[in-house]
């Protein structure tokens, strides 16, 4: 998207047109595995609880163990891609994720499943952190890059709803073990295709970017931060002493990391990267929009299950329109919109549609009809996501130097993951608190709680619209940038 000449200079010139698209599909297959895993597991949690004897509180660790490793390591994984080669990190992540998936499927104890899920999170971080950086290197031409990012954005954002359907089918038709076993053939095939279709890139070298103290500080900060969100904050409340203590520890670790990066000779995360107004704004928007969208998919599923009485398979089918609409826009029309209007306008328009959809969800009653109260919301979310997320991904990488592409890719992924965890914790807590304090009948109390969270989610995404309107600037088209550089060279 609006690539610079520096990016063009580092693009593998030998990778032909058709093979580049096959490489893209391979990268997206790896991303789909990671995205599917989150929602597939959510659908299977009741079956896992019954089979392995988890309590309600300990069951959360099936999800939390993955989130802590995944969210904590994304930024480090992205930088490792820059240093050691992105294809190397991508394939290594696939191997780790696939092996851990088999361990998850074989688990017969709670401890084995939780440990395997943590290892899965490590593999997921390594795989997904470098994908966006690889895509912008493979597709430097603006129109092709916009289309490629549209495909990636569809997989990254809509894959979750596919996971709801796949999880329901596998859990009900076979057993929960198979939600993990299916990753074995997918992971092996994707890794083989990655080696064959993606050219091996040469990283900067570990000696030119080693920053062990920085890596330890940021990984520890992110892991402690994610743990604080998904455990004490969600269970004890945001003002509980344990929550505040861990939040303070997170801030101390972050402060130490910033101090280290400001003085390190070869920092893990060069602070200069945040001088980019576009990159900084894109990451803020990613965090806020992820907070609203991810939390609503979770709470919307609960509304369908607890209020309308849907089972796992019906929930997956109910969310399918979001996937279809988002996929159609992301793959077929997002590139045309970005090339016609630039990325900023589609971003604002798409986020605004999401706000409208979330606000509309606050009107869904206890005896709601799917076609009247739910389907219009899901269509609006699909429209908004299909328009805005490809534009956001493109903007996040539009002002990044080639040697920082892996870092920027990991950064946008980290902000999305932390934003999703934070949004889920906040919205779920608000919903539960509103329901617990209600004197109305059970179903109405649950519905009121969901309505309140839907309204808060709409406000959060509305804040991202404001940031997009005020902070984000329209990148210059590539040809204009090249012409300006030629004039400067002639003047010199």
pLDDT of residue 151 exceeding 60: yes
Regarding predicted confidence, which is higher, 351 or 389?
A: 351
Q: What is the mean pLDDT of residues 248-268?
A: 88
Rounded to whole angstroms, the Cα distance separating 161 from 148 reads 21
Q: Which residue is listed with tokens 């990984």?
A: 219
Regarding predicted confidence, which is higher, 150 or 360?
A: 360
Q: What is the mean pLDDT of residues 315-336?
A: 78
Regarding predicted confidence, which is higher, 103 or 266?
A: 103
Rounded to whole angstroms, the Cα distance separating 229 from 244 reads 11
- Do 71 and 419 form a contact (C-beta atoms < 8 A)? no
Q: Against a cut of 0.75, is the pTM above it? A: no
**Cβ neighbours for 69, distance < 8 A, ≥ 6 positions apart:** 118, 119, 120, 121, 122, 124, 125, 223
| Token pair listed for 476 | 């210059």
Q: Which residue is listed with tokens 């101090």?
A: 259
| Residue 11 confidence (pLDDT) | 41
| Residue 474 confidence (pLDDT) | 67
Mean confidence (pLDDT) of the chain: 80
| Token pair listed for 320 | 């399918």
| Token pair listed for 96 | 């780790």
- Do 66 and 118 form a contact (C-beta atoms < 8 A)? yes
Rounded to whole angstroms, the Cα distance separating 78 from 67 reads 17
| Token pair listed for 122 | 């490590």
Encode pLDDT of 180-236 as tens digits: 888 899 899 999 999 888 888 776 666 655 677 887 888 888 778 877 876 787 777
Regarding predicted confidence, which is higher, 454 or 268?
A: 454
Q: Which residue is listed with tokens 């402060």?
A: 255
Rounded to whole angstroms, the Cα distance separating 417 from 73 reads 11
Encode pLDDT of 16-59 as tens digits: 567 888 998 899 888 888 887 777 777 777 778 888 887 755 67
pLDDT of residue 485 exceeding 70: no
Enter the DSSP assignment of 269: S
pLDDT of residue 442 exceeding 90: no
- In order, the DSSP letters of 299-343 are HHHHIIIIIS---HHHHHHHTHHHHHHHHHIIIIIHHHHHHHHTT
- Do 338 and 146 form a contact (C-beta atoms < 8 A)? yes
Enter the DSSP assignment of 273: G
| Token pair listed for 487 | 């004039």
């Amino acid at each position: 998207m609006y690539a610079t000449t520096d990016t063009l200079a580092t693009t593998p010139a030998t990778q032909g047109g058709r093979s580049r698209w096959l490489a893209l599909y391979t990268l997206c297959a790896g991303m789909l595995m990671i995205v599917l895993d989150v929602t597939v597991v959510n659908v299977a949690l009741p079956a896992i609880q019954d089979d392995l004897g988890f309590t309600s509180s300990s069951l959360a660790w099936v999800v939390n163990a993955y989130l802590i490793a995944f969210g904590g390591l994304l930024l480090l994984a992205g930088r490792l891609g820059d240093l050691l080669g992105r294809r190397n990190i991508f394939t290594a992540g696939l191997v780790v994720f696939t092996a851990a998936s088999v361990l998850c499927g074989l688990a017969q104890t709670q401890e084995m499943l939780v440990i395997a899920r943590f290892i899965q999170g490590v593999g997921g971080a390594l795989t997904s952190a470098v994908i966006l950086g690889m895509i912008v290197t493979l597709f430097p031409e603006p129109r092709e890059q916009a289309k490629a990012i549209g495909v990636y954005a569809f997989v990254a954002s809509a894959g979750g709803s596919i996971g709801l359907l796949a999880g329901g089918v596998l859990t009900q038709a076979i057993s929960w073990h198979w939600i993990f076993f299916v990753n074995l053939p997918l992971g092996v095939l994707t890794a083989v295709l990655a080696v064959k279709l993606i050219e091996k890139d040469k990283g900067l070298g570990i000696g030119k970017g080693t920053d062990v103290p920085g890596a330890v500080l940021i990984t520890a900060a992110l892991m402690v931060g994610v743990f604080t969100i998904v455990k004490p904050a969600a269970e004890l409340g945001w003002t509980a002493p344990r929550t505040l203590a861990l939040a303070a520890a997170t801030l101390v670790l972050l402060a130490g990391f910033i101090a280290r990066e400001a003085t390190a000779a070869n920092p893990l995360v060069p602070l200069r990267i945040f001088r980019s107004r576009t990159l900084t704004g894109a990451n803020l928007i990613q965090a806020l929009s992820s907070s609203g969208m991810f939390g609503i998919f979770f709470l919307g599923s609960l509304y369908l299950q607890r209020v309308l009485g849907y089972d796992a398979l019906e929930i997956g089918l109910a969310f399918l329109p979001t996937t279809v609409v988002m996929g159609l826009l992301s793959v077929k029309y997002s590139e045309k919109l970005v090339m016609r209007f630039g990325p900023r306008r589609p971003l604002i328009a798409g986020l605004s549609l999401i706000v409208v959809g979330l606000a509309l969800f606050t009107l869904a009653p206890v005896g709601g009809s799917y076609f009247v109260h739910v389907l219009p919301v899901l269509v609006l979310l699909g429209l908004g996501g299909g328009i805005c997320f490809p534009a956001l991904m493109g903007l996040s990488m539009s002002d990044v130097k080639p040697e920082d592409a892996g870092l920027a890719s990991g950064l946008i992924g980290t902000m999305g993951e932390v934003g999703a965890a934070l949004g889920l914790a906040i919205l779920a807590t608000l919903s539960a608190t509103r329901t617990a304090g209600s004197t109305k009948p059970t179903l109405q109390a649950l519905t009121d709680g969901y309505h309140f969270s839907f309204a808060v989610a709409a406000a959060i995404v509305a804040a991202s619209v404001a940031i997009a309107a005020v902070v984000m600037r329209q990148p210059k088209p590539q040809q204009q940038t090249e012409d300006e550089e030629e004039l400067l060279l002639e003047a010199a």
